Structure 1
Amino acid sequence: MALVGGAVRDGLLGIASNTSPDLDLAIEGADLQALATATGLPFTFHAAFGNATVTLPDNRTVDLIRTRRETYPVAGGNPVPEPGTLTEDLQRRDFGLNALALVLEPGGELHLLDVVGGLPDIQARVLRPLHSGSFHEDASRLVRAARLAARLDLAAHPDLLAQVPDALKMAEQTPRLWAELRLLLAEPRPGRAARMLETWGAGQLPPPASLPLLDALDAEKEQGVAVNFQTYAAALLHVAPNPADLAARLNLGEKPAALLARALSDTPYPDGSPERILRRLLRPDAYTPLTGRDVVALGVPAGQQIGAALAYLAGLRAAGQVQSAEDERAALRQYVRNLPPS
């Protein structure tokens, strides 16, 4: 049994364990469904690969991975797994620093297994694909590299940069690439990850016009503003040539598009809300329209007159005849003066 993947990588990089909350255990020749059952903990069994994900009492997860080798009958398609050794399992992985294993021997001893030269990559903090056809068989690895580089402050190995054209050529034939782009929006700094792609010559994978928006949202985060996944996704849709198609490819659901529509409307939303964050970014000249309370304070009688006054102001906004809340107040004062006596 061996601990593999992100937990080993991050431990060797000296990164706090809370950045890699999940653990991957690679096990040779075991019935992992039976092993997961024996823990007495909740788990999900993944029949296609013979793996099991066990949920720990603290809500972290442990992935029990059947060691395997993989082949790609069709580049960009799903790999075909076969049982394999731990060495073969490490050799099928994406980057050298992700292919290290901390092996637990039967006697309880631990040792680091490095069959692909991943330890020098850790020391140099570089992302190196394991073979020259890596991005051709799975172009999503390029986006995963950008995510890791941005989050962990890693550099691209020359071998990675040499494979960028292959990844771009295969992007449309690699459905997993869109899943990785969705994960990019959930990174701590999505804008930084997107800029990594641009630096490497792949800035067209997210809509290029989205990069300044993602940068701006990163800057909001750095100021302590709570910017969530839906806000980044809505910004991406705002500049997408075909928003519905992009939402479907990224499996975004309906929430980002609905958030974007609210942000572009004139409906008031409180400071710090996703709507206000996006509105400030997408409509820098926008202002908060007058509300029913404002209308009453300016002399509109209660009742149906309030709705009529708000509709009047909405019409002025749609016609571009008011540009600020003060313009609305001036228009409303004139509106009140023209009301028939009650």
Structure 2
Amino acid sequence: MVLPEDLDRAAGWGLDRLAVGHLAWDGLAVVGPSASEVAVRRLLLHGAPVVVVAQGLTVVGIIRAASAEWAQPGLSIAHRLEHSDGPAREASVWLLRHAGKVGEALGVAVWAVGGFVRDVLLERPALDLDLVVEGDGPAFARRLAEEIHGRTVVHGAFGTASVEGGVTAGGNPLPRIDVASARRERYRAPGALPSVAPAALGEDLARRDFSVNALAMALGPAVFGRLVDPLGAARDLDRRRLRVLHPLSFVEDPTRIFRAARYSARLALRLDAGTRRAMALALSAGVYPALSGQRLLAELELIVAEPGGWRALALLLEWGAFRLWDPGFRTSSRSMRRLTEVWRLCEWKGAPGILPPLIDAALVGLLLDQPPTVARRCVARLAITGARAERLLGAPALARRLARVLDASYRQASVVAHALRSAHPEALVAAWCAGGARARGRMRWFLTRGHAVRPLMTASDVIAAGVPRGPQVGRCLEALRDLRLDGRIKTLPQEQRVVERCRPDQKGGAT
């Protein structure tokens, strides 16, 4: 079934030629006009987003889950919070209870929402605190900050605020807490940032990305812990299912595709059929000029920062999601192998500062096999410019030259080390992917041991031995390092004899 507002939105976004079947909803319950209120409530409480009232083939009414606060009667998750898993959780629970008291004093209802509630249901560590207030969120945040001796940062355009630096009554530090006014959102164009307006909690939950994040927990002292789940989030969590809330969800905000990969990898969730159709629709709809490159890059940075980030990137490749960068982006089995190779390289922790940041390593792996014109457009789409863009785009050509050096049948260790030290970090990642077994073995040696080889003598020792201050000291130390790498010297006396030959008063020495 297709709802009228979805038709209106699609037409308003210039998608009026879209086949109407792309806008069809899954999971709509249908009842007759004689159905009881109890029967309708039961359907809504079991996760139906909409209940359609039909007389034969004629629709006579629509009842939406988000139109009222369909709370599970008597269902509370407060007991799950009382089993503390450490001081951080204890501080969070204290803060939530105190926030409920502040809301009661101000006469506004306050809820914990989203990921915190979801993770409590999943019995996972839940430290990110997001609150929704039916009223003035920033005013509530300022009052809360006064109570816990924290500081407030207000973002007026979206009716949100953050409270940081607070402490409990006992002086223990509190986590950051984000506060928002309950709101509805409207997207003027696909991929644009939304305009917002005050709304009730039900509409606030219905605007969210996935059902598993459309959860709330009451914080008022009399109802603390009561679960609000109007869209079937708990049921989806039990089924390990990730579900969007309407067919145009990914069209209105394509960055939700990246979040889908992140949640799928982190929580072991799988997309349901309707979500897959919604994603296919979004990826075929266009290039989203209103979607900024900074937002795309920020989503990628969030992905690679997570333990399961590389799995999330693999899902994006599998889904064809990088067409959001450029329609010409090609995905193949080789792309998957490249990503796996980069992930294995970045697992090494023994060479800090040699490899690039994880986000740039991932970008090298994703772009390595793309045609140069596509790679350039992708980098530009992410709003990456200057030297960083040059390194990313120049990595494949540099890597091919570096791989030839590293794959040669005989190379002194000092030559290998010099080649790797001279290459910029992005080229090292590309060379790892482009090189053969010998090249990777040499890179592994450099990353684990070779990069740390140093002379026993210091610059001060070299100067004390008679080498004049200036560039010659550096050249002398480099020579000592290369001789140690090649195994030609091993002891301090051997180094000292080499330094003696560097003195300008020695025959053949530098002048």
The TM-score normalised by the length of structure 2 is 0.51
Distance 1:105 1:293, change over 3 A: closer
Specify which of 197, 201, 214 is matched with residue 316 of structure 2. 197
Structure 2 regions of 5+ residues with no counterpart? 1-109, 168-172, 403-416, 434-438, 460-464, 490-499
Answering whether residue 142 of structure 2 is matched by residue 37 of structure 1, we say: yes
Distance 1:278 1:60, change over 3 A: farther
In structure 1, distance between residues paired with 2:357 and 2:163? 31
Number of residues paired by the alignment? 316
- Structure 2 residue aligned with 1:303: 467
Q: Deviations over 1:102-123 (max 9, x none)?
A: 1245633542112112221111
Q: Deviations over 1:154-190 (max 9, x none)?
A: 1121222222233334555322333212211211232
In structure 2, distance between residues paired with 1:279 and 1:97? 38
Specify which of 129, 132, 138 is matched with residue 26 of structure 1. 132
- Structure 2 residue aligned with 1:186: 305
Identity over the aligned pairs, expressed in percent? 33
Answering whether residue 245 of structure 2 is matched by residue 136 of structure 1, we say: no
Answering whether residue 379 of structure 2 is matched by residue 246 of structure 1, we say: yes
| 1:266-281 matches, cutoff 5 A | 266=418, 281=432
- Structure 2 residue aligned with 1:150: 265
- Structure 2 residue aligned with 1:123: 238
- SS for the counterpart of 2:299 is helix
Distance 1:199 1:67, change over 3 A: same
- SS for the counterpart of 2:223 is coil
- SS for the counterpart of 2:153 is strand
Q: Which amino acid letter does the alignment assign opposite residue 180 of structure 1?
A: E
- Whether the aligned pair in 2 keeps the contact of 1:101 and 1:112 (CA below 8 Å) is yes
- Whether the aligned pair in 1 keeps the contact of 2:181 and 2:198 (CA below 8 Å) is yes
Query: Once the 2 structures are TM-superposed, how far is the Cα of residue 325 of structure 1 from its aligned partner?
Result: 4.0
Answering whether residue 142 of structure 2 is matched by residue 14 of structure 1, we say: no
- SS for the counterpart of 2:486 is helix
Q: Which amino acid letter does the alignment assign opposite residue 95 of structure 1?
A: F
Give the CA RMSD over aligned residues: 4.8
- Structure 2 residue aligned with 1:332: none
- Whether the aligned pair in 1 keeps the contact of 2:138 and 2:181 (CA below 8 Å) is no
| 1:56-205 matches, cutoff 5 A | 56-57=166-167, 58=173, 60-105=175-220, 107-169=222-284, 170=286, 172-173=288-289, 174-175=291-292, 176-202=295-321
- Whether the aligned pair in 1 keeps the contact of 2:342 and 2:429 (CA below 8 Å) is no
In structure 1, distance between residues paired with 2:346 and 2:239? 27
- SS for the counterpart of 1:193 is helix
Distance 1:136 1:8, change over 3 A: same
Distance 1:32 1:12, change over 3 A: same
- Whether the aligned pair in 1 keeps the contact of 2:379 and 2:389 (CA below 8 Å) is no
Structure 1 regions of 5+ residues with no counterpart? 318-323, 330-335
Higher Cα Rg, which structure: 2
Q: Which amino acid letter does the alignment assign opposite residue 201 of structure 2?
A: L
In structure 2, distance between residues paired with 1:226 and 1:123? 41
- Whether the aligned pair in 1 keeps the contact of 2:138 and 2:180 (CA below 8 Å) is no
- SS for the counterpart of 2:321 is coil
In structure 1, distance between residues paired with 2:488 and 2:380? 36
- Structure 2 residue aligned with 1:333: none
In structure 2, distance between residues paired with 1:280 and 1:220? 16
Stretch of structure 1 that moved more, 56-65 or 141-150: 56-65
Distance 1:291 1:112, change over 3 A: closer
Stretch of structure 1 that moved more, 181-190 or 280-289: 280-289
- Whether the aligned pair in 2 keeps the contact of 1:194 and 1:203 (CA below 8 Å) is no
Q: Which amino acid letter does the alignment assign opposite residue 53 of structure 1?
A: S
- SS for the counterpart of 1:65 is strand
Query: Once the 2 structures are TM-superposed, how far is the Cα of residue 131 of structure 1 from its aligned partner?
Result: 0.4
Q: Which amino acid letter does the alignment assign opposite residue 314 of structure 2?
A: R
- Whether the aligned pair in 2 keeps the contact of 1:27 and 1:67 (CA below 8 Å) is yes
